[in-house]
Structure 1
Amino acid sequence: MFISITIVLVNVLALSVAKNLPQVGANNAELGAQYWTDFSRIALQEAYQSKPVLNRAKNVILFLGDGMGVSTITPSRILKGQLRNHTGEEARLAFDDFPYTSLIKTYNVDYQVPDSAGTATAFMCGVKTNKGVLGVTGRVARGETDCELVHKNSVSSILKWALDSGRSAGIVTTTRVTHATPAGGYASVANREWEAWIPYQSNTQSNKCKDIARQLVENEPGANLSVILGGGRRYFLPDHQTDGPNGEKGLRIDGQNMIDKWLQQKRESGLPDHRYRYVDSRQKLAAVDYSRTDYLFGLFNGDHMSYDRERDATIEPSIEEMTDAAIRVLRKNANGFVLLVEGGRIDHAHHENHGVMALHETVAFDRAVELAVRSVNLDETLVVVTADHSHSLTMNGYPKRGTDIRGINGNHDDNGVPFTTLMYGNGPGYQHDRVDPSTVNTSNISDLKYRNVAAIPLVSAHHGGEDVALYAIGPMAHLFRGTQEQSYVAHSMAFAACIGQFKNSDYDHCNRSSSATNISTTFFSSYLIISFIFISFQLI
């Protein structure tokens, strides 16, 4: 509670500063030394008074921005501010106020620059592995056809560790629920692309090697997840059945309807009908009675969900709304829960060199983080925000303060041609002879799908390999510090919650109440209120 108050006040302070700034340039207060001295004094006092929350984490929420490297976070923060008619640079994302940060090394066992399957296995299962495989060790090569080898080298995820400890678990994603990041929480498979079938198997009903959708419905931990929300409906439907108004066929060649099977399994388990719900639209999600619903399965698109700025709001909920629904279902478990929330389409926009769209997806993702922070008790809930990998996006060119992050930065190259602040190292935005973006009539450079220029031609942009940032708040958040391997993320969250290998451990926090109050946050909240009032008067 007190941590929440602190976050609110810091955000109010940031907005108070921002609203006094003109669209370009600094305000008068910023031009003097006292402004920065006072601002820094508050930050120093927060750091000085802050102490770790040493309780056991009853709940864990992992927010994963797919492709959300630091080079995406910075311009997204600026866009968030500029969308509120501020200069932008002074804005703050919800997770900017988290007290603990770390850098995470993202390489796969076999590649310097990773893919989302190998990284998902690392941060969900605590084991680094090869590019393109899910839920297995590095002994399994991508495309391995030996089911016994895959089974022998399978690893479990933090979602299963949560279920084994009596907690609930769930996933929320803006991609297909069978896509790499969410699948890292429940599937063991030698190729991330085997979402609806396994090509080499003549017997598609094999119980040894199952496609990802089957594993979600039939296997542990997928079959017992309390929440599954995202896209990918066609991957659960047989190829003789059409999906939605466009009449696209399902993708399953085994003739199974896995949605019906999920409903059948819940019915056969003895659950009353009102205790489990399948929904396929935003309206149906809004009609869910959360007081009576223990299991919620929602597929809102035949493929990936639409970009937030392009979605049909009558059909597809936002990531913020799905996060809210998930927390409402999961928090009914008195033992707690573990939830994965993925902003997956940040990555997809980057692959297309649609830099503006990627930033908007990040801002939408940030709203989901803000919603979660408001909805939970941070004395008992560990919230972690990070990325699986980065992208080759750059922010460059000496733009002046307040320059539209989506546009031309006001400078010119050596040939006198202007250029945009956002660019890519590779991708479909490559131009052999670079076009002056100010003369392009077919697409405004601030449009959602304007294709930013790229240095190297590729049909789909490749990932970036630099470390990604991790932000944490709540019980045991102080474990995230320094530079860590990506596999460390899963084990640290498990340690904080006393699950998995730490389920029966004798660490002090595992026997300490999750609702204990951190006294230092109480003191700091009072101090911050006084400091906030002091600075606000200077800005009037």
Structure 2
Amino acid sequence: MIKQGLSLVIASLLSSGALAQTVPAKQTSNTWYKQGQEKIIEKLQQQRSVKAKNVILFVGDGMGVSTLTAARILDGQLKGEMGEEGYLSFEKFPYSALVKTYNVDAQTPDSAGTMTAMISGLKSDAGVIGVNEDVVRGNCASTKGNEVVTALELAEIRGLSTGIISTARITHATPAAVYAKSADRNWEDISDMSITENPERAECEDIASQLINFESNLESRFKGVDVNGIEVVMGGGRRHFLPKDATFNSIDAVSSIEGDRTDDRNLVTEWQEKYPEGTYIVDKAGFDSIDADSTKQVFALFNESHMQYEADRENDIAGEPSLAEMTSKAIDVLDNNEKGFFLTIESGRIDHAHHAGNAKGALLDTIELSKAVQAAVDATNEEDTLIIVTADHSHVFTIAGYPKRGNPILGKVVAVGSEEPSLASDGMPYTTVGYANGLGYRDLGNETDSDAAYSEGAMAGRVDLSAVDTTANGFHQETTVPLGSETHAGEDISVHAIGPSAHLIQGTVEQSVIFHLINRALGLVE
């Protein structure tokens, strides 16, 4: 009470100008000074409600703090601004914290363990999904009795509508942790499980099959429970749902045989049989035709594997919606339920572009995530909807040198007071952003597919960049340690929140706390 009273007194003094008499006028009239003062007053006026009707969890896969900073600057520069003074949409949220990302068995984590923590409330091992730390990776039998329940499953049991969106394969680690239980994140379909060599794995269900059987699996785990299934599923990964037979290829199949399944099951057909009033779509035209008011269920698989990078999306054969468009459509479908909804949205390709060593690809996907968050803010009410934006882990992505303000974030370092690139001790210019390990330098011109970097081996060390356009889509930054793919990093990431219970996120927290925030807001477990 004393602290609250003091805060109100300070706010009153600030607004009245009484304290300004002791501070030079030139200081109080400074833009940065005034903005800081206004921010404190704004925070003092915030209302703190607890109960939410809806929760939306955004996960920027691989979106570490350096990625946020660089994306914020690039976003501003693409708009003709200097860049540093801007904010991504969710950076304006009133509450934030740092999040520790380690897995139970790993100092630097993977997405399976980190998403399991966020969606289930406990930390687990790297490489396993929807199970606790007692599971042995790759050991099918060890999952029995060690499955954990997720926020989405609890929301289904409570009668809320639910949804999962990802720009990665919908069976990939992050989205899969929302609905599946697996001793190995790589068991996306039965062909990945090597059952011939490991016959005991026949007792486990592959991840794609678990998505199709989500409703019956949940009801069998909790006797007396009656749910109606996930209302919205959008992402990539058709190959894991189709038989290994060219007859079942989709209109935009890239491979001669699109499907990977070796059990002859067509999971798309199985889903359609389970949900005859649902809508299955594979392209932008189908997406645009969805009537959100009347649609009961949506199953959208927009690509054979992952969806396109944002930089490459316009090149898709059949067309793909943006993450922002998928977000808006999902909310329009889910908010038909008066009880509310729980929606998880992953921007999965931030991570993939970083792994390929292509900073621009990662930053453009981060900017698109920011747009998706803004779309969610615009489509919901802060009074009844909790929106959380976070990452699962970071990458070995750095911002360095001493570039002057406004210098292109993807450009070469140009120091304060200079017009020419700074030179390193080897006499060559260097870029502001770079990677500590990975594939290294590539000059692929305007190539928008970050994965094109994998066509050649790793290349560590310095290159003369004097005549290279480092801001081009196809430029891949230099690296120090040569690896077949750039790696995750182990430092803390950030979480940003707005809406009911958002104020509970403060300080430095374990990643598993995010589940407990969702639980508190929706009252999932009483």
**Scaled by the length of structure 2, what TM-score is found?**
0.84
Question: Given the alignment of the two structures, is residue 171 of structure 1 paired with residue 158 of structure 2, yes or no?
Answer: no
Q: Does 1:256 find its partner at 2:274? A: no
Measured against aligned partners, the alpha-carbon deviations of 1:347-395 in whole angstroms (never above 9, x if no partner) come to: 0000011011110010011100010000001100000000000000000
Give how far 1:491 is off.
1.3
Identify which of structures 1 and 2 has the higher relative contact order when contacts are C-alpha pairs closer than 8 Å and 6+ apart.
1
> What is the SS of the residue equivalent to 1:309?
helix
Once superposed, which parts of structure 1, at least 4 consecutive aligned residues long, lie more than 6 Å away? 203-207
Amino acid at match of 1:224: G
Q: Which moved more, 1:242-251 or 1:474-483?
A: 242-251
Q: Select 2:430's aligned residue among 419, 438, 457.
A: 419
Structure 1 residues 432 and 297: CA distance shift in structure 2, 3 A: closer
Cα 1:287–1:105, aligned 2, differ >3 Å: closer, same or farther?
same
Q: Does 1:49 align with 2:38?
A: no
Question: Aligned runs of 1:320-399 on 2, under 5 Å?
Answer: 320-399=324-403
| Local SS of the residue matching 2:312 | coil
Post-superposition shift, 1:484?
0.8
Aligned to 1:239: 244
Shift in CA distance, 316/31, structure 1 to aligned 2, threshold 3 Å: farther
Residue 310 (structure 1) aligned to one of 309, 312, 316: 312
What secondary structure sits across from 2:30 in the alignment?
helix
Cα pair distance change 1:472/1:433, threshold 3 Å: closer
- In 2: Cα distance, 1:231 partner to 1:176 partner: 4
Q: What does residue 151 of structure 1 align with?
A: 144
User: Are the structure 2 counterparts of residues 418 and 206 from structure 1 closer, same or farther at C-alpha, using a change threshold of 3 Å?
Assistant: closer
Equivalents in 1 of 2:123, 2:205: separation in Å? 22
- Residue 436 of structure 1 corresponds to 464
Alignment pair present for 1:40 and 2:40: no
Query: Is 2:95–2:505's contact at 8 Å kept on the other side of the alignment?
Result: yes
Is 1:293 the counterpart of 2:307? The answer is no
Equivalent in the alignment of 2:450: none
- What's the % identity of the aligned pairs? 43
Shift of 1:449: 2.7
Residue 49 of structure 2 aligns with an amino acid whose one-letter code is V
1:223-257 Cα offsets, whole Å, 9 max, x none, are 81100000001110000133434333300011000
Counterpart position of 2:97: 102
Specify the alignment match of 1:65 in structure 2. 60
**What is the Cα deviation at residue 304 of structure 1?**
0.1
2: CA distance, partners of 1:364 / 1:371: 10
C-alpha deviation, 1:266, in angstroms = 1.3
What is the CA–CA distance in structure 2 between the aligned matches of 1:64 and 1:357, rounded to whole Å?
Answer: 17
Say if 1:191 and 1:42 are closer, same or farther in 2 by CA, change over 3 A: same
CA contact (8 A) 1:403 1:409 kept: yes
Farther off after superposition, 131-140 or 36-45: 36-45
Alpha-carbon contact 2:460-2:478 (below 8 Å) kept = no
1:182 to 175, 181, 206: 175
User: For residues 316-339 of structure 1, what are the alpha-carbon distances to aligned partners after superposition, in whole Å with 9 as ceiling and x for unaligned?
Assistant: 111111111110110000000000
Q: What secondary structure, in the 3-state scheme, does the structure 2 residue paired with 1:303 have?
A: coil
Given that residues 121 and 513 in structure 2 are in contact (C-alpha distance below 8 angstroms), is that contact kept between their aligned partners in structure 1?
yes
Structure 1 residues 291 and 379, CA, compared in 2 at 3 Å: closer, same or farther? same
Corresponding residue of 2:407:
403
Gaps of 5+ in 1: 1-29, 268-272, 503-540
Match of residue 521 from structure 1:
none
1:130 corresponds in structure 2 to 125
Query: 1:48 Cα deviation (Å)?
Result: 2.0
CA contact (8 A) 2:95 2:506 kept: yes
Indicate the residue corresponding to 1:511 in structure 2.
Answer: none
Distance of aligned partners of 1:362 and 1:83 in 2 relative to their CA distance in 1, 3 Å threshold: same
Aligned length: 460
* Partners of 1:85 and 1:42 in 2: CA distance: 26
Q: 1:370 to 1:131 in 2, by over 3 A?
A: same
Amino acid at match of 1:68: M
Q: Which amino acid is the alignment partner of residue 126 of structure 2?
A: K
Once the two structures are superposed, residues 32-91 of structure 1 have per-residue CA deviations (whole angstroms, 9 ceiling, x without a partner) of 95222222221121122223223x110000000000000100010001100100000111
Matches within 5 A, 1:59-98: 59-98=54-93
Aligned partner of 2:285 in structure 1 is: 283
Residues 230 and 298 in structure 1, CA contact (< 8 A), matched pair in contact too: yes
What is the CA-CA distance between 1:219 and the residue it aligns to? Answer: 2.7
Which whole-Å CA distance do the structure 1 matches of 2:199 and 2:338 have between them? 40
Question: Which one of 499, 504, 512 corresponds to residue 474 of structure 1?
Answer: 499
**Is the CA contact (8 Å cut-off) linking 1:282 and 1:315 kept in structure 2?**
yes
